[in-house]
Chain A
Amino acid sequence: MLYRTAGQFKTSYAADHALFPVRQDAWLLGVILLFAFVIFPLTASEFTFKALLTPVLVYSLAALGLNILTGYAGQLSLGTGAFMGVGAYACFKLITIFPEMNVLVAILASGFFSAAVGVAFGLPSLRIKGFYLAIATLAAQFFLVWLFEKWAWLCNYSSSGSIQVPTVEMFGTPVFGPNALAIVQYYFVLGVVALITIAAINITRGRIGRMWKAVRDMDIAAELVGINLMKAKLSAFAVSSYVVGVAGALFVFLWRGAAEPVAFDIALSFRVLFIAIIGGLGSVLGNFLGAILIVALPVILNTLPATFGIPISSAMVEHLNTMIVGALIIAILVIEPHGLARFWQIIREKLIMWPFPH
């Protein structure tokens, strides 16, 4: 009923390829954006901002970056955590060396550093494929984290070896550091994520995106029809690492407030990979759905026993939580290997047909 497409005629190719060929999709997105931009900020508590909303957005962005590489260009990477680290350390050095730099510029510029590192570690992808490439990206993961630990210049020789976010203002309001309000940080993150998401949607729909997809589906065939493999693969690494690097800067500067090298450990890479796969490879929407499931669900599960007065120790909750997340991953993969994004597609198709299926 709600999703009836009858009456919406396309009279040109451009209209058929528009972002929202179905009007209801645009409305739905509008409602979601209304929630994200108006309703959540009005109602959320500081805990909700800090433990749910901001991390979900940051992780979605990181997963989006990985998804560009893995879902669109077909290059499996397990080094996401370290690339996030490059972004975070670059941002830290930028704002400590140039304190008067605008924070938005610093965040967006830090992505270029991770993009450069990403391309360097992406070079082997020209020769190595599949799982071999995945393990090769692990070399980046372990080497970079070791470098963060050893290279004291990166953290300005702080005695603890970790980076601390100083208070930095933008237009007179603190955005980084302990004095920044959670709501300001949320809006900042939301803005950056929205911006990059729009860019990502358009890149993946355009010429470059189709080039990536061709390489993903079969790289030799792609080469035969005249796609420059080197250009395609390296551009995927560059764009993906850029997005991941920005996510890493947001991760430390607008959410965590401090980070030691171990924060960018392999566990972070896996977490982002979960989100991308559970959400659905090769989909932008999936990253957000995946992040909600992987990041927000455990937080909510943690609060459940207390809310319902179920007496259970916090350690037990944590054990159960790990088990539930593990079981959920298996369950979702078994039910729908293409992830949550495909789920939504199925629901949408059903809605369009409803109430008269064939």
Chain B
Amino acid sequence: MKRLRTNLLLPAALAAACMLSAAPAMSEDSVSLPNLSYRTGPFAATGIPLMNGQRDYMTMLNERDGGVNGVKLGYEECETGYSTEKGVECYEKTKATGIITQPWSTGITLQVLPKSNVDKIPILAPGYGFSPMADGKVFHWAFNMPASYWDGASMILKNISDGNLDNLKGKKIVLLHLDHPYGKEPIPLLEVLAEKHGFTLLPIPVGLKEMQNQSAQWLQIRREKPDFVVMWGWGAMNAGALTEAAKTKFPMDKFVGIWWSGHDGDMASVGEAGKGYRSISWSVPVSDSPVMQDIKKYVLDPKKTEIGEGEFDWVFYQRGVLISMFTVEGIKAAQEHFDTKVVTAEQLRWGLENLKIDDAKLAEIGMTGMIAPFSTSCANHAGHAGGWMLEWDGAKFVKVSDLLQADESVIEPLVEAEAKKYAEANAPWPINEDCKM
């Protein structure tokens, strides 16, 4: 009965929360922060904890501080089910009032990207979307902080090569990826690196319909005998890959995933067999940090919202909290700079472009150790924060590496070239000429 109750209570609880925040919002100042969520569809399992974390951080701020400097945070979800078609609908629906848009899927991001220039709404795609979006001069309105997929790929390679990519010479690396724009993201960078450092790259695609039945892919891996398998997986694909890896006795310490492949919920079905599997992550769950404790105190304990059992400690739930933090810090920066309370979309864009997330800031908002310090600028929209390796110990993810930094000297020219290519293909494309960095 529990599941049923949760699902019936959840909307009711949400409703109560909405009423609480919406009713006074009429009289008070508030900002509308839409999120194109996906709590349904084939990727729902990964979406739900992320959305819950995002929602709960905002709810906590509204409960604890009455919003940000007296402005209530109007967090709204528009459900897309990860479908690009619903994405258009949701974007159009929320763009009139929203001061930000969070498209979530790479497909929706690509669709919204050109429109954001015209509609003047910042796109926040934390750790996903289109890697060249890091170039703030070309992608004036898009942000993919704290790190792009190329940063992630670079960090992974650095870690598996013990810090020196030349150690990979003559090795074979398999990229097991979803056959979808998202899965293909790292390929351009990996190809460049493979040529430079002399390793072989073999991309193995997994079709959307084959996510749960990857025996062909793992047979190929068995035949190719790669030294490492790097995974760009999503939703049901992660669990499918880990099950097959465990079955074919592929050594788990040679198997590394991107941050979206390190989900506690996916690992649960693998359990002990997945021990030793690692995933790079720009976020680390710290359940006893002040911010998490406040969420517990102000949101979860009074049953303002409900989350699944054990979800509180999950990587993805706490990553959702961090994602909302970017928006909130952007609002704070904009409020200060423009000396206003209710920020507009354009002001928020400035705020997101001038984020300074340093250790003092993290301590102030109670997130010490949950994310590496980073800052953004008009040229750098990714922040290029570092990340850590998280290892599955059979029951949860634990941090097993020092802070890893991506090798920007390789990534930067590639970002510039790809951004230019994009701008040319979509000419006339406005370039931010004011940015002198």
Tell me the A residues contacting B by CB distance below 8 Å.
45-47, 50-51, 96, 146, 149, 156, 158-162, 164-167, 177-179, 255-260, 262-263, 265, 299, 302-303, 311-319, 322
Point out the residues of chain B lying under 8 angstroms from A51, CB to CB.
88-89, 92-93
* 7 tightest A-B CB contacts, nearest first: A311-B15, A315-B39, A178-B114, A314-B79, A160-B181, A318-B79, A258-B111
CB contacts between A and B, total, < 8 Å: 126
Point out the residues of chain A lying under 8 angstroms from B11, CB to CB.
311-313, 316
22 interchain pairs, CB-CB under 8 A: A51-B93, A158-B421, A158-B422, A158-B425, A159-B418, A160-B130, A160-B181, A160-B185, A178-B114, A178-B117, A178-B118, A179-B428, A260-B107, A260-B181, A262-B84, A262-B107, A262-B208, A263-B107, A314-B39, A315-B77, A315-B79, A318-B81
Give A156 to B422 CA distance when docked, in angstroms: 11
Tell whether, in the assembled complex, residue A257 and residue B89 are in contact, meaning their CB atoms are under 8 Å apart.
no
Point out the residues of chain B lying under 8 angstroms from A317, CB to CB.
79
Given contacts A159-B187, A317-B79, contact A260 B14 (CB under 8 A): no
B180 beta carbon closer than 8 Å to chain A: yes
B13-45 contacts to A (CB < 8 Å): 14-16, 18-19, 37, 39-40
Given contacts A159-B188, A256-B84, A256-B85, contact A47 B114 (CB under 8 A): no
Residue of B nearest to A271 (CB): B85
Tell whether, in the assembled complex, residue A262 and residue B79 are in contact, meaning their CB atoms are under 8 Å apart.
no
Main secondary structure of the interface of B (DSSP, over half): helix
Interface string of B374-418 (1 = CB under 8 A from A): 000000000000000000000000000000000000000000001
Tell whether, in the assembled complex, residue B37 and residue A315 are in contact, meaning their CB atoms are under 8 Å apart.
yes
Give A86 to B422 CA distance when docked, in angstroms: 23
Tell whether, in the assembled complex, residue A313 and residue B77 are in contact, meaning their CB atoms are under 8 Å apart.
yes
Point out the residues of chain B lying under 8 angstroms from A257, CB to CB.
88, 111, 114-115
Beyond the given A96-B425, A262-B180, please list 17 additional residue pairs across the A-B interface where CB-CB is below 8 A: A50-B89, A51-B89, A51-B92, A51-B93, A149-B205, A156-B425, A160-B106, A165-B114, A178-B115, A255-B88, A311-B11, A311-B19, A313-B15, A313-B39, A314-B39, A315-B79, A318-B40
Give A89 to B15 CA distance when docked, in angstroms: 44
Point out the residues of chain B lying under 8 angstroms from A146, CB to CB.
207
B88-145 contacts to A (CB < 8 Å): 88-89, 92-93, 96, 106-107, 110-111, 113-115, 117-118, 130, 132
**In the assembled complex, how far is the CB of residue A55 from the closest CB belonging to chain B, in whole angstroms?**
8
**In the assembled complex, how far is the CB of residue B204 from the closest CB belonging to chain A, in whole angstroms?**
13
Give A265 to B93 CA distance when docked, in angstroms: 25
**In the assembled complex, how far is the CB of residue B87 from the closest CB belonging to chain A, in whole angstroms?**
9
Give A123 to B92 CA distance when docked, in angstroms: 42
B273 beta carbon closer than 8 Å to chain A: no
Residue of A nearest to B17 (CB): A311
| Contact partner, A164, options B110, B118, B132, Cβ 8 Å | B110
Tell whether, in the assembled complex, residue A167 and residue B426 are in contact, meaning their CB atoms are under 8 Å apart.
yes
Give A262 to B87 CA distance when docked, in angstroms: 14
Tell whether, in the assembled complex, residue B110 and residue A160 are in contact, meaning their CB atoms are under 8 Å apart.
yes
B184 beta carbon closer than 8 Å to chain A: yes
Residue of A nearest to B18 (CB): A311
Point out the residues of chain B lying under 8 angstroms from A149, CB to CB.
179, 205
Point out the residues of chain A lying under 8 angstroms from B111, CB to CB.
256-259
Given contacts A161-B181, A314-B79, contact A167 B427 (CB under 8 A): yes
Point out the residues of chain A lying under 8 angstroms from B160, CB to CB.
none
Point out the residues of chain B lying under 8 angstroms from A316, CB to CB.
10-11
**In the assembled complex, how far is the CB of residue B32 from the closest CB belonging to chain A, in whole angstroms?**
12
Tell me the B residues contacting A by CB distance below 8 Å.
10-12, 14-16, 18-19, 37, 39-40, 77-79, 81, 84-85, 88-89, 92-93, 96, 106-107, 110-111, 113-115, 117-118, 130, 132, 179-181, 184-185, 187-188, 205, 207-208, 418, 421-422, 425-428
| Contact partner, A46, options B92, B180, B185, B207, Cβ 8 Å | B92
Residue of B nearest to A45 (CB): B96
Give A74 to B418 CA distance when docked, in angstroms: 48
**In the assembled complex, how far is the CB of residue A302 from the closest CB belonging to chain B, in whole angstroms?**
8
Point out the residues of chain A lying under 8 angstroms from B187, CB to CB.
159
Point out the residues of chain B lying under 8 angstroms from A46, CB to CB.
92, 96
Give A164 to B425 CA distance when docked, in angstroms: 8
Tell whether, in the assembled complex, residue A166 and residue B84 are in contact, meaning their CB atoms are under 8 Å apart.
no
Give A316 to B6 CA distance when docked, in angstroms: 12
- Residue with the highest number of chain B CB atoms closer than 10 Å, among A179, A257, A311: A311
Give A45 to B188 CA distance when docked, in angstroms: 41
Point out the residues of chain A lying under 8 angstroms from B78, CB to CB.
314
**In the assembled complex, how far is the CB of residue B281 from the closest CB belonging to chain A, in whole angstroms?**
23
Tell whether, in the assembled complex, residue A260 and residue B92 are in contact, meaning their CB atoms are under 8 Å apart.
no
Point out the residues of chain B lying under 8 angstroms from A47, CB to CB.
92-93, 96
**In the assembled complex, how far is the CB of residue A131 from the closest CB belonging to chain B, in whole angstroms?**
21
Tell whether, in the assembled complex, residue B426 and residue A166 are in contact, meaning their CB atoms are under 8 Å apart.
yes
Point out the residues of chain A lying under 8 angstroms from B185, CB to CB.
159-160
Give A322 to B40 CA distance when docked, in angstroms: 11
| Contact partner, B37, options A158, A178, A262, A314, Cβ 8 Å | A314
Point out the residues of chain B lying under 8 angstroms from A158, CB to CB.
421-422, 425
**In the assembled complex, how far is the CB of residue B279 from the closest CB belonging to chain A, in whole angstroms?**
23
| Contact partner, B15, options A50, A256, A303, A312, Cβ 8 Å | A312
Give A138 to B85 CA distance when docked, in angstroms: 22
Tell whether, in the assembled complex, residue B425 and residue A50 are in contact, meaning their CB atoms are under 8 Å apart.
no
**In the assembled complex, how far is the CB of residue A140 from the closest CB belonging to chain B, in whole angstroms?**
16
Tell whether, in the assembled complex, residue A260 and residue B418 are in contact, meaning their CB atoms are under 8 Å apart.
no
Give A258 to B81 CA distance when docked, in angstroms: 18
Tell whether, in the assembled complex, residue B184 and residue A161 are in contact, meaning their CB atoms are under 8 Å apart.
yes
Tell whether, in the assembled complex, residue A159 and residue B92 are in contact, meaning their CB atoms are under 8 Å apart.
no
Point out the residues of chain B lying under 8 angstroms from A314, CB to CB.
37, 39, 77-79
Tell whether, in the assembled complex, residue A313 and residue B10 are in contact, meaning their CB atoms are under 8 Å apart.
yes
**In the assembled complex, how far is the CB of residue A226 from the closest CB belonging to chain B, in whole angstroms?**
45
Give A315 to B80 CA distance when docked, in angstroms: 9
Give A154 to B22 CA distance when docked, in angstroms: 48
Given contacts A162-B181, A312-B15, contact A260 B208 (CB under 8 A): no
Given contacts A178-B114, A318-B81, contact A162 B425 (CB under 8 A): no
Point out the residues of chain B lying under 8 angstroms from A262, CB to CB.
84, 107, 180, 208
Tell whether, in the assembled complex, residue A162 and residue B426 are in contact, meaning their CB atoms are under 8 Å apart.
no
Tell whether, in the assembled complex, residue B16 and residue A311 are in contact, meaning their CB atoms are under 8 Å apart.
yes
Tell whether, in the assembled complex, residue B81 and residue A166 are in contact, meaning their CB atoms are under 8 Å apart.
no
Tell whether, in the assembled complex, residue B14 and residue A311 are in contact, meaning their CB atoms are under 8 Å apart.
yes
Given contacts A164-B114, A314-B77, contact A260 B84 (CB under 8 A): yes
Tell whether, in the assembled complex, residue A313 and residue B184 are in contact, meaning their CB atoms are under 8 Å apart.
no
Point out the residues of chain A lying under 8 angstroms from B18, CB to CB.
311
Give A161 to B81 CA distance when docked, in angstroms: 21
